[in-house]
Amino acid sequence: MANCGGKTNSIVLKSPIGNVLVEYCGRGVHALNLDDKVRDDSFLPGPKQRVVVEGKENQKASKDNIRDACITWLDTYFHEPSKLSQIARPTLCLDGTTFSNNCWVTLPELADFGKVVSYTELAAAAGNEKAIRAAGGSDA
């Protein structure tokens, strides 16, 4: 998402849909990506899996507001979606193009829990209905 020039951190979170790589800096989240091993043909969700940092050495890492907000939000998303409106979304580090930033800000407002949003819908909602490929490329 962003290339803010600050020190970035990467962690792997275990989740009900597989491992999620989170990249972030002190200003906010840069990217969330599923592990490359998660594919449509091998997808096997583990609905009871809580969202936790992968690896025992990382379980007791010092307090990190951005990381902790991601863990809390994702765990709530997977296990108590009715409570999502009661917690803040993790802060995003938005230093991309204006359209890309619009995609990142618009997507959570557009996509209710469990709703699929096409790149066509996202592009229109972000302000340019012809920028379908750009909406897909924004990694939103």
DSSP designation for 41: G
The answer to whether residues 77 and 14 touch, using CB atoms and an 8 Å cutoff, is no
Blockwise average pLDDT, block size 10, the chain, 140 residues: 74 90 90 81 80 69 84 92 89 83 87 85 94 83
**Structure tokens of 113?**
């829990």
pLDDT at 86: 92
* Vertex 87 angle, CA 82 and 92, to 5°: 120
pLDDT at residue 3, as a whole number: 62
Q: Are 134 and 100 in contact (CB under 8 A)?
A: yes
Predicted TM-score of the model (pTM)? 0.77
Residue 133: CB atoms within 10 Å: 10
Decide: helix, strand or coil at residue 102.
Answer: helix
Class of domain 9-86: alpha beta
pLDDT computed for residue 43 by the predictor: 73
